[in-house]
Amino acid sequence: MGEQDRGFHADRIKVCYWDALGNETVRYFAANLPLDEIPETIDSPQSGLPAGRDQLNPPSVAKLEPYKTHLAYVKERRTEEEAAQLLEDALAQLRARRGTMTPTA
């Protein structure tokens, strides 16, 4: 049982997108949709790269940034001295709560 058996078939337009690897992705949009509402780029489901409507000039990836750990972000915001001071303060609070405060020189 296809669309022909279900009754009214809405008019639609076919839009093709290509990524930098040459993968083609087809999307269908309502025919009465204004052209400025049809996206210029999408994410290609095959590669995850951006895909555009111009087959000869597909969009390129702006910049691939490596994965950063939480520690890497913290190190960007703190100096070694600040980190040592924060650690010392946190340890002092922990020792005070546990009642194992040792005198510091």
pLDDT in tens, 36-51: 999 999 999 998 899 9
> What is the percent of the chain with per-residue pLDDT over 90, rounded to a whole number?
56
pLDDT band at residue 101 using 50, 70 and 90 as cut-offs: low
Confirm if 44 and 29 have CB atoms less than 8 A apart: no
Q: Angle at the Cα of 32 (from 51 to 49), degrees rounded to 5?
A: 10
Cα 41 from Cα 59, distance rounded (Å): 8
DSSP code, position 73: H
* pLDDT score at 61: 80
Strand ranges in 19-74 using DSSP code E only, listed in sequence order: 24-30, 41-43, 50-52
* pLDDT score at 38: 95
* pLDDT score at 71: 83
Confirm if 25 and 37 have CB atoms less than 8 A apart: no
pTM above 0.75, yes or no: no
pLDDT band at residue 63 using 50, 70 and 90 as cut-offs: confident
* pLDDT score at 32: 93
